[in-house]
């Protein structure tokens, strides 16, 4: 158990569906992140939240909508995705400021059909 | 823009061998460097974090070194075991934005019996 929990672990959705990914951290961290990992590509940062405020949006399409209601929870709302959005979505947290260790969840394997 | 390269992309060694994984980065003005392990389809497990003021960090059979001036880090694994088989990733904070991690594409390690 890493202290960062993601649900669900696997998700299959159609292109017209709406679904949400959830991330919860029990480490008392102030920063939370969404990363995307596609086959044979480096991890790509999608969003960063510091103290519930979004501080980074790495040119992510609007069909991905993050939400951070508090410092412990992070959601990624998915709507009208494309098959190329199929990937492993990883949530991470850190104390903040980027100068401390980042901890990752187990990821959600998303398949868009 | 920070870029991270890991060599080799894949490595297969017999059990018991000592091995070295390499990571290089283009911008030496980093706060720290982190090594992760990723098992297939799973999230990332933090192995070692080296602060920019440090030259190396050790954890059990793992030793990571950092040479900021040359933009290089190595992960040394002593007496490798089949359980060490995984993908190893290094990551550094992106230039100018400490909260963003830039990852290499990883080294896929297989330790055979």
- For B14-35, what is each residue's pLDDT tens digit? 999 999 999 999 998 888 899 9
**pLDDT at residue B95 above 80?**
no
| Nearest-by-Cβ selection for A101 from B34, B104, B106 | B34
Q: Which residues of B touch A2 (CB under 8 A)?
A: 43, 45
pLDDT in tens, A63-108: 999 999 999 999 999 999 999 999 999 999 998 765 568 999 999 9
Is the per-residue pLDDT at A46 higher than 80? yes
> What pLDDT shows up at residue A56?
84
CA angle B31, A31, A111 (to 5 degrees): 105
For residues B3 and A45, give the distance between their C-alpha atoms in angstroms, rounded to a whole number: 14
Note which residues in 33-72 of chain A have CB less than 8 A from chain B. Answer: 33, 40-43, 45, 48, 50, 55-56, 58
**Cβ neighbours of residue B51 closer than 8 Å, sequence gap 6 or more:** A99, B31, B32
- Token pair 């991270």 in the structure block, residue: B4
Residue A103 has what pLDDT? 93
Q: Please list every residue in chain A whose beta carbon sits closer than 8 Å to the beta carbon of residue B51.
A: 99
Contact A56 B4 (CB under 8 A): no
Instruction: Say whether residue B97 is in contact with chain A using an 8 A CB cutoff.
Output: yes
Report the gap between the CA of A43 and the closest CA in chain B (Å): 6
According to DSSP, residue B81 is labeled -
Give exposure, A102-112, as e/b (b: 16+ Cβ within 10 Å): bbbbbbbbbeb
Does the pLDDT value for residue A112 go beyond 60? yes
Q: In this predicted structure, what is the pLDDT of residue B11?
A: 96
Q: Give the model confidence (pLDDT) of A10-23 as tens digits.
A: 999 999 999 999 99
Task: Supply the pLDDT for residue B97.
Answer: 59
Asked if A23 and A89 touch (Cβ cutoff 8 Å), the reply is: no
What pLDDT score was predicted for residue A64?
A: 97
Output the pLDDT for position A99: 57
Q: Which helix (H) or strand (E) holds A32?
A: strand A31-37
Distances (CA, A) of A99 to A52, A67, A88, B111: 18, 24, 25, 33
């Amino acid at each position: 158990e890493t202290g960062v929990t993601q649900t669900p672990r696997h998700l299959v959705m159609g292109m017209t569906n709406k679904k949400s990914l959830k991330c919860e951290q029990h480490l008392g961290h102030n920063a939370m992140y969404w990363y995307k990992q596609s086959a044979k590509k480096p991890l790509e940062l999608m969003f960063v939240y510091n103290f519930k405020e979004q501080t980074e949006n790495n040119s992510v399409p609007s069909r991905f909508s993050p939400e951070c209601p508090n410092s412990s929870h992070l959601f990624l709302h998915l709507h009208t995705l494309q098959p190329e959005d199929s990937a492993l979505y990883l949530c991470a947290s850190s104390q903040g400021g980027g100068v401390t260790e980042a901890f990752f969840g187990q990821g959600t394997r998303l398949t868009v059909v | 823009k920070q870029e991270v390269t890991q060599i080799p992309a894949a490595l297969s060694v017999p059990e018991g061998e000592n091995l070295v994984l390499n990571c290089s980065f283009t911008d030496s003005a980093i706060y720290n460097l982190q090594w992760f392990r990723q098992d297939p389809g799973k999230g990332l497990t933090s192995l070692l974090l080296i602060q920019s003021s440090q030259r190396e960090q050790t954890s059990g059979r793992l030793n990571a070194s950092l040479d900021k001036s040359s933009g290089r880090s190595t992960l040394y694994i002593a007496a490798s075991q089949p359980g060490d088989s995984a993908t190893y990733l290094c990551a550094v904070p992106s230039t100018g934005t400490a909260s963003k991690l830039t990852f290499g594409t990883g080294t896929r390690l297989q330790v055979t019996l």
